[in-house]
Structure 1
């Protein structure tokens, strides 16, 4: 294998023009795909394929559709029953009906024809709109309107708050036409224009949440710019030479062009919240390049020739660098096992980007370094005692102190401390919550406009979070005239489900089904006598009640509870929030209710479920199952690769111990920070695992290389490895921490701020686990594989021979 590495390194430097030309041509090719890059959210792609809840939503998207915006109009100094307030509701309703991608059939407020009250006439029950063609202008007209609202039980509580001080305007959007940014700006402008001294206006719903993320995109890019600037400043202060700063810059830019160009050519949409992962990959390009630069300068100080130093460094770093990059990429690519289209696109995009660091950071970096001027401060950079002063002296003292803790007499107390630390973090890590730990969204700060809106709507109305249990007709043919939702068995199943859920502990705030309309109509038809509310058990009874209820209105007025053909229906349950505890309780009781009524019926089946509660759980179930699968498969993959590369199972175990300790520390940190595992944070956590393994690979490869140089003295071996290769590890982790920490103070997105803290911890944790735990294991085990000279990933180079030749 050493001969292969030598041949490749020789070829690269002998044909540098060819290699550079190939890289340049590929860069131009990928750059041509950049104009096609699309950054957007596709809601349905965030839902797992095959999960029963997600499939129920896909089959019945109108029931509990999360793509609904709720705008609350609240009167500050009284109730809504004034011409001023009702006119504002009227205007908002008509204006939002002009919003991009709105479903005109699903705009609802007390000023739309769908909001109706029932009135008995000599000819039967007449379902009339609450409001006519204009807003009431007189006191008598206002009083009459208020009376009509009070006679409509399914308007009170759902569209008008119990105290009468607030009302809702709701609009559902068509996903295929939805541009979140455009729609959000349209709706947000309406909200801001409608606010005045007498009215509070709040807007919530998934389109608004995603819209806020879109609005913060420019801020995210500015923060990323601050991060990159901080990285370059730290790089300049550390390297203090042209080659050491320019080389990581070029490799980072080239890798970014290849990565984004790749998704551009494939026309893959990039999720906005996941843009921080490409930034991490730019940092990984920096990290691998800095590892090579450090070794290049170390060799250059001996052999005094740039080309020869570059070739030798490439031979030495090719093995650990390739293995480290492959494990980085594998940690991302394994995310593709999660059956969530957005995650799979992410895995393909970022996995490819991680893999291209082999040509950009391993093979391009040596050619750049060999073409740039020799650094004048070479002796300062390679001085392990920090004689150059400044940051080099601080780092030398730090690494010397860390190394001293991992061998000799200090190793035992250090080892005990690491065992205790690992046990504590593993205990905390196992308690990580999956899902949303807060009311509203953990993506935004608690006092953000969106989360305030969610809390306000939850205070005055049943809320914005629903759970749907769908009664799906078995008669689904196009020409079918079977109105399953009108049948007695269907209607009474709805009522049984509602009754069970309303009696359960932590009952929903409100329930609604098609059956609620039928009972109210029968009662009205019989003079308002409440004894007529219970429905009969014959199909003729419920069919008559349905006909009475829908008299004077079309099926669109009931589309939130039954489809246009009255074949499929839903029972809706509203909950106070979407915290994971609420979700768990709601679904547990819903499963019990479905079990009580049974799934299979003669004409229909009962499907759980849809709505925000069920869809959130669908994602959580997938994340929880697949995260640990990803970690397991990643461990297996790293074990196989490391065993093959180092020709030792012990080597693989030595690498995996600090990586898994780091993973538990990361997950424990998320738990303590109140950050749950979800579709966004799980991806960052997976990347963190890959970061840790390549730190360990570089360090272990250097330990193997130093065995002969230090005559088998493990104390000297560990000290030499930690103070040389460990310097690049410590530097890249430190500069990433410096670059990421501003996120917490600058970001309007709580998610980005939390990920800034988390990634800072990822870097520090992986650095310390690599520099402390791995050397400790080497010291206590003293493995025999470090004595071998035929390892695939390592190469022993006698620099004194090159010095003599020079």
Structure 2
């Protein structure tokens, strides 16, 4: 933009300073008033990729299938077994209590006390069965013996009853309520589980274990509430360090205050749009604050420089705005559009994160780029800050002079070789980067968390895992028990049971085999699927709910997995696809993925796997195009982008080494890191280009650049790394992982801008930028 146009813009803004301040004050009050009503958003449907093939298949049968949203309440007898009246009465009380929880599927609750869990045996007179705990139960020794006998012939050992008979389970499916007033509030639901189940019924004799999606999300929200404390700590650390560096409390308060105001605006706008903050987007307010501080440091440094030169507050503010509004605007627009590339990942929590980050950066364009210079035009800089800047202007810093050698030919050559070696090593290590969870239980939580200890207990004591993959077998109407379809299902179950990581399978075929065995005096030699249709029809007359739908066009096969680790899911899904490709026949049976919690996890992993590379291409593409438009030089784009790319590669290598998989919680980190990191490169390149246009050679121009903006870049990187490093102490593991990754990216983006950018400039722009008087 020409100098005349810049002057016109400055004059237009600074002539109406009172109006701008009053407008900002009113907007802050308005958005702040709305921000107080922000809510935590925890809908189950937001966590899954609703447009993925697996989920679309499931949604076609949503009235006949579970979305995998359930909880299991396990009651453990610390001494003895479950066959005591005290234990069974406690199990009954828990079953009754959970019945009245909002959001539970009351008709499908299962425990030893519910009528839908029955025993069955074969007698001389045929089949005989009944409720496991009969209405005649009175707590006597005879009744307890009867219950024990019923459990053993019910087939529930390893499912609702532990293999060692020391605990029993209440299985509670939840209703899929995606909207309206009746949607499940997982935070409240989890607290109710703690207060009305664990705290109420757990005692010295019995221990309660609770697992399931709702409980995991509730624990995440509980732990994530500590993010507010980390945010306040980060503000405090930033304020102190900025005050020490700037030596001006006025400037420090303005930068920190405007950055906090941007967060208030962001949260207020989200509330007005009817959106909330979920556990995965709680980092966004901190990032908005971080970006605000990053730009604010540049502004107050430049203001101190201009105040030393002109000694007039208003004029210094104008010159500051003139010098930095183009690179600042470019950096912020790059941030906003870069963050919005996360929208391409069709998982609502990530899309909401993209919206939240984009809105926050848009708020920064006004609160920081415009408000800080206007405030400074009234407040000015302290004499101490101006004196400090005058010393720096006139001094010949040994540190900056040493770092400026990065732009010299010899050092630049070594730097580029080191970068190439580092990038190659990072790519080699990151080839083993996994998609999805790499740990058992809930990897978002620490291994010693209450939830993961409960999950470990369930997996150690029950034959049937809580990680379930459901394959939907679609057939023509009233043909799901046709002998041809049943034989295909039988072969499929055998195929899956031989896949590593699969514990067992269950379907209508399982019921048919058991009944046919019963018809033949319980002789297990008959435990096979017959080819005679009439016998099959007789064997499936009383199929339990959930194994066939009402018109017998759907017969799910339930596959119990060892865990939901990425490798386990990949093997299981690949095995299903292999069988389906060979055996699918629409006239007989079609095997369709997927339901169950493991099916939803597999769909999420697949979505992330396909989206992560596209997201990187988009975020780097957008940033590159904006830099190209601004600087009109491909060489400039390379100088700015290559250090960012190196940081991304090294970050992926770090994830591989630390055993952190790419998933919903970690995927946005790379895009967010690039968005923040590009700011450093833009500010440094803008200054470097300006000094070269004044006739300085590259090394001297870079030295002058470091004197002006180097300290601000280093200060910002170190301060933000210290602030986000506090997350490492979070009660939530995935937030601690984010803290590690973001700390690494903040530091390496800073190092890349200071060290690698001038080295690249030595090869790409040395001698290419002519002084203005020679252009």
Q: TM-score, normalised by structure 2?
A: 0.94
CA distance in 2, matches of 1:386, 1:145: 88
Q: Deviations over 1:731-789 (max 9, x none)?
A: 111111221222222x1101111111111111101000000000111123334554365
CA distance in 2, matches of 1:238, 1:259: 28
**Match of residue 668 from structure 1:** 653
1:242 Cα deviation (Å)? 2.6
Stretch moving more, 331-340 or 45-54: 45-54
**Match of residue 328 from structure 2:** 321
CA distance in 2, matches of 1:664, 1:620: 20
Distance change in 2, residues 1:559/1:784 (3 Å)? farther
CA distance in 2, matches of 1:333, 1:513: 44
The answer on whether the counterparts of 2:307 and 2:386 sit within 8 Å (CA) in structure 1 is no
The answer on whether the counterparts of 2:467 and 2:563 sit within 8 Å (CA) in structure 1 is yes
Match of 1:521 among 515, 529, 551: 515
Distance change in 2, residues 1:400/1:77 (3 Å)? farther
**Match of residue 188 from structure 2:** 182
Match of 2:611 among 626, 648, 656: 626
Compute the RMSD of aligned alpha carbons: 2.4
SS at match of 1:33: helix
Q: Deviations over 1:545-567 (max 9, x none)?
A: 222x35xxxxxxx2332335544
Match of 2:717 among 718, 733, 745: 733
**Match of residue 688 from structure 1:** 673
**Match of residue 546 from structure 1:** 540
Distance change in 2, residues 1:148/1:411 (3 Å)? same
CA distance in 2, matches of 1:406, 1:673: 34
1:386 Cα deviation (Å)? 9.8
Stretch moving more, 332-341 or 769-778: 332-341
**Match of residue 489 from structure 1:** 484
Distance change in 2, residues 1:779/1:130 (3 Å)? same
1:604 Cα deviation (Å)? 4.7
The answer on whether the counterparts of 2:280 and 2:665 sit within 8 Å (CA) in structure 1 is yes
Distance change in 2, residues 1:527/1:728 (3 Å)? same
Matched, 1:429 2:430: yes
CA distance in 1, matches of 2:486, 2:16: 79
Structure 1 segment 448-463 matched on structure 2, within 5 A:
448-461=449-462, 462-463=464-465
The answer on whether the counterparts of 1:486 and 1:542 sit within 8 Å (CA) in structure 2 is yes
SS at match of 1:274: coil
Matched, 1:242 2:237: no
The answer on whether the counterparts of 1:466 and 1:574 sit within 8 Å (CA) in structure 2 is yes
Moved over 6 A (4+): none
The answer on whether the counterparts of 2:224 and 2:731 sit within 8 Å (CA) in structure 1 is no
The answer on whether the counterparts of 1:216 and 1:748 sit within 8 Å (CA) in structure 2 is yes
Q: Deviations over 1:414-468 (max 9, x none)?
A: 3332332222223223432111011112211111111111121111222110111
Match of 2:230 among 223, 226, 230: 223
The answer on whether the counterparts of 1:703 and 1:786 sit within 8 Å (CA) in structure 2 is no
Match of 1:500 among 489, 495, 499: 495
Q: Deviations over 1:61-106 (max 9, x none)?
A: 4645431111222333333222222222222211121222111022
CA distance in 2, matches of 1:612, 1:10: 60
CA distance in 2, matches of 1:219, 1:42: 21
**Match of residue 180 from structure 2:** none
Matched, 1:645 2:630: yes
**Match of residue 341 from structure 2:** 334
1:693 Cα deviation (Å)? 1.2
Long gaps (5+) in structure 2: 178-182
Q: Deviations over 1:346-379 (max 9, x none)?
A: 2122112112221111111100111114312124
**Match of residue 106 from structure 1:** 108
**Match of residue 92 from structure 2:** 90
SS at match of 1:464: coil
**Match of residue 152 from structure 2:** 150
Distance change in 2, residues 1:629/1:148 (3 Å)? same
Structure 1 segment 200-215 matched on structure 2, within 5 A:
200-215=207-222
1:531 Cα deviation (Å)? 4.6
CA distance in 2, matches of 1:381, 1:165: 72
SS at match of 2:296: helix
Long gaps (5+) in structure 1: 476-482, 551-557, 791-795, 797-806
SS at match of 2:171: strand
CA distance in 1, matches of 2:672, 2:627: 18
The answer on whether the counterparts of 1:53 and 1:610 sit within 8 Å (CA) in structure 2 is yes
Distance change in 2, residues 1:342/1:586 (3 Å)? same
Matched, 1:769 2:755: no
Q: Deviations over 1:583-626 (max 9, x none)?
A: 11221222233334x22332653212222222112111211221
